Amino acid sequence: MPKIKVFTTQIVSSSEIRSNFAKAMSDMYRFEVPMYGTLVDMVQQINQQELDNNPDLLESLEQSDTLNRLSAERHGAIRLGKAEELFTMRRLFAVMGMYPVSYYDLTEAGIPVHSTAFRPLYLDELNNNPFRVFTSLLRLDLISDKKLRFLADSLLSRRNIFSNGLIELIEICEHNNGLNSQQAQQFVAESLQTFRWHHNATVNITTYQQFLNTHRLIADIVCFKGPHINHLTPRTLNIEKAQQQMEQFGLQAKAIIEGPPQRQHPILLRQTSFKALDEDIQFKGNSEDTQFGSHTARFGEIEQRGMALTVKGRKLYDRLLGEVREMTPDAINNIETYYATLKQIFQQFPDNLHQIHDNRLGFFIYSVIPLKKVKTSHSLNDLVKNEELQITPITYEDFLPISAAGIFQSNLDERGTQSFARSPNQQAFENDLGCKVTSEFEYYSKIQQDSLLVCVQQLGLDQQQQAELISQLTKTKH
């Protein structure tokens, strides 16, 4: 057991550690995957063009205090193999002020993992640095071949993805409620080793091929030393332009942008990527029989974020997307038809902020408009309609399982692989994680309700009037 050290200097904030880690991760990934650097440069050019050509957008980002975070917007993704790795990863991300939000079942898209996203929980922390990591855990119980399942379990049980130095620093942080400057620097350096790419596999090429034939994601998780970061994602203000320009920058774009259609008022999350690289791998073998091959895992993704939706709004979104998928089962070979169907079906989802608000489809931050007198009506909708309250959409900070699966599948050759039926198991995931995940809907609801509480106090409403307005949120039928 390592000896716990005490502080001799002031602790470093978790957001500063997160910022330093995100930058170090980006620099490492640029070095390992040069095309990622090309992607980031392209997105930055597009974002600057959008800001130059759209003063209203620039003003909106400035007012919401999110302009500065745009250039730092990143999310990464990793895939873990066993419960102990997930448990320790939770502790690692906690050092950086990142906590598990939402449970995602990717088996509904035929991928044998379930996931959460580690991210900051509060708006000021997100504005300081919004870095987040989508983290998946392999579902060994879903591998139908018992011998292969036992072999995967055996291989994973023997690996250790965290250095002793990293574990010691995590324990120091937990004991002292933080790290000092020197420890924080060491923590970032030690953490990076966990996510680094390794060209050497831990198995021979025959074993690798067995896992690959079951599912490419299983091979990616089981056959290597650790959870190499498989993509990082800058945020764009115009994903259509990014999709078009990727080919011009020498990046092979996936066929379809995942998520909702282009809208005046964007909702949830839209994603695209360039195709995964085919990278040289040295497989395990004796000194006289070195085995070489390749592995496809790492790619570059782009995201565009819109407003968070309520449970009611999300149910409508999921229903409409389901209709689109049923109507266009071969979307990848009929892209124009897919986009046209997507646009047509989503006309059922209002693209007007007041309609979205009045139907309780999206989450908003309320603010009082100065110099307005409150009328006799205490309907929340009327206060917004009469411009006594201003509504600002809350940005969606989380993920969509179908979209995530769409990105994964665009980089997988699944011919001849095992199929996986929908099999959610949030309880088992949380047991492995060591805590419950935060509900994204409760998170956004609290932000919305807190902002309304401030407004009703500023408006000088009595307690009964305040209760009436709050109840119009809390009693909304989802």
- The reported pLDDT for the residue numbered 478 is 44
333 and 240 share one domain: no
284 and 369 share one domain: no
Is residue 2 in a domain?
Answer: no
Asked if pLDDT for residue 252 goes beyond 90, the answer is no
CATH number for the domain harbouring residue 57: 3.10.180.80
- 88-111 pLDDT per residue, tens: 999 999 999 999 999 999 887 778
Coil, strand or helix at 309: strand
Count of the separate structural domains present in the chain: 2
Highest mean pLDDT among 63-67, 194-198, 255-259: 194-198
52 and 184 share one domain: yes
Residue 408 confidence class, pLDDT cut points 50, 70, 90: low
Residue 78 confidence class, pLDDT cut points 50, 70, 90: very high
Backbone phi and psi for residue 383, each to the nearest 5 degrees, phi listed first = -60, -35
Is residue 339 in a domain?
Answer: yes
317 and 281 share one domain: no
387 and 252 share one domain: no
202 and 81 share one domain: yes
232 and 363 share one domain: no
Is residue 4 in a domain?
Answer: no
450 and 477 share one domain: yes
Is residue 382 in a domain?
Answer: yes
Between CA 275 and CA 330 the distance in angstroms is 19
219 and 336 share one domain: no
- Residue predicted with more confidence, 240 or 333: 240
Is residue 452 in a domain?
Answer: yes
- Is the CB of residue 208 less than 8 Å from the CB of residue 13? no
Average pLDDT value for residue range 143-161: 92
Range of the domain at 109: 11-304+399-431
- The reported pLDDT for the residue numbered 415 is 45
Residue 64 confidence class, pLDDT cut points 50, 70, 90: low
Out of 51-60, 307-316, 336-345, which region has the weakest mean confidence (pLDDT)? 51-60
Residue 410 confidence class, pLDDT cut points 50, 70, 90: low
For strands 132-138 and 74-80, give the pairing: parallel
423 and 286 share one domain: yes
385 and 466 share one domain: yes
Asked if pLDDT for residue 406 goes beyond 80, the answer is no
Is residue 6 in a domain?
Answer: no
Cβ neighbors of 248 (< 8 A, separation 6 or more) are none
